[in-house]
Amino acid sequence: MATDLSYDRARAAHGTTAEQGNRPLVGWLLFCAFMVFAMAVIGAITRLTESGLSIMEWAPLTGTLPPLSDAEWQRLFALYKTIPQYQQLNTGMSLAEFKTIFWWEYVHRLWGRTIGLVFALPLAWFWWRGHLAAWLKPHLLILLGLGALQGVMGWYMVASGFAERVSVSQYRLALHLTLAIFIYGYILWLVFRLVWPDAGENSLRGSLFWLRRSLLGLVLLLAVTLVSGAFVAGLNAGLTYNSFPLMDGRLVPDGYGQLSPWILNLFETIAAVQFNHRLLASLTLVGALGLFLWSLHLPLGTPARWAMALLALAAVGQFTLGVVTLLQMVPVSLGALHQAGALLLLTALLHALYRLRPRPRDGTAA
């Protein structure tokens, strides 16, 4: 018993020292996570306002500055007039109206560049000063590469709307959002490891083992649900079937399987895309609530128990917000809140999963 107490005191003291040394790193990574979170919300607004195709040039350096003269505004507006979105949807748009959509896309791109600087410059400084643990370095380099890839992916997505479409490809939009969500979750997991290096359950046997496995399954289900939401956004599928729980008076709407081959309906038919998102969201809610109720009967520690409660609360809130957004025909404000709610639900789920990991027993903090 005395040996166990001494061991626990040593771990507690080590954890306190590690937390103090990691505070600058944690603050930096949390701020980066917040910026990615905000980027996803700004991206949702950009999509909802049909602003993403307003800038037809990719200039990573010179594009940092906005138009500074009337001649430059006219040049950019003339470029926009050459694409199908203007010709089929926005014919007769005034320069003032063009500026409105331009600024949303400009802010979106500028925020992305700012994230790159906020991540890369402190990373170089922490590395040079020797503040990065060996285990953390490869993760940060991977994140740096993923950030650069996200910039390329953003342009790849936007370019899909310049020739034959009036909006970006829903496939490329889904890839762009998936990568953003992965980056956000990756940063959060690193923050959890730095803030709570010793968090976890003493033993994951029996029901606790299966509860954590079930949480892993819920992560996969939520990921598929979020990606399906990108297809809803890409097809503007939220602007139809604005009733709940039925769709035009039917559980499964007419036209669900109208395309051939059938697999295309999952990605290109509005009825199928919206129905699938509803179904996946409902399953996610049921899964979160079911795991929470199950956890009430298991010998969890207080942090894990609170994490499961927050997960259930986030799932209920996001599902409710999704239904309200649908019934209101996706106004920009609710659409942006729904995007934010999805990331908050992901945050709660990853936190619960982390709290239910096996507690490290080697006497060292990750």
Residues 281-313: pLDDT tens digits?
999 999 999 999 999 999 999 999 999 999 999
pLDDT value of position 29? 97
Please state, in angstroms and rounded to a whole number, the distance separating the CA atoms of residues 174 and 43: 12
pLDDT band for position 274 (cuts 50, 70, 90): very high
pLDDT value of position 365? 43
H helix runs in the chain, sequence order: 2-48, 70-80, 84, 95-128, 136-159, 170-195, 207-234, 265-268, 270-295, 302-327, 332-355
H helix runs in 235-269, sequence order: 265-268
Q: Which residue has the higher pLDDT, 270 or 13?
A: 270
Please state, in angstroms and rounded to a whole number, the distance separating the CA atoms of residues 152 and 1: 57
Domain boundaries, the chain: 1-197, 202-366
pLDDT value of position 360? 73
pLDDT band for position 21 (cuts 50, 70, 90): low
pLDDT, tens digit (0-9, with 9 covering 90-100), for 120-141: 999 999 999 999 999 999 999 9
- For residue 274, give both structure tokens: 């919206």
The answer to whether residue 346 scores a pLDDT higher than 50 is yes
Average pLDDT across the chain, whole number: 91
pLDDT value of position 202? 73
Q: What is the mean pLDDT of residues 92-117?
A: 95
Please state, in angstroms and rounded to a whole number, the distance separating the CA atoms of residues 329 and 323: 10
pLDDT, tens digit (0-9, with 9 covering 90-100), for 165-175: 889 999 999 99
pLDDT value of position 1? 41
The answer to whether residue 159 scores a pLDDT higher than 60 is yes
pLDDT band for position 255 (cuts 50, 70, 90): confident
**Closest Cα partner for 159 from 81, 76, 259, 83?**
83
Does the annotation place 277 within a ligand binding site?
yes
Does the annotation place 176 within a ligand binding site?
no
pLDDT, tens digit (0-9, with 9 covering 90-100), for 26-73: 999 999 999 999 999 999 999 999 999 999 888 877 778 999 999 999
**Closest Cα partner for 255 from 274, 270, 238?**
270
pLDDT value of position 281? 98
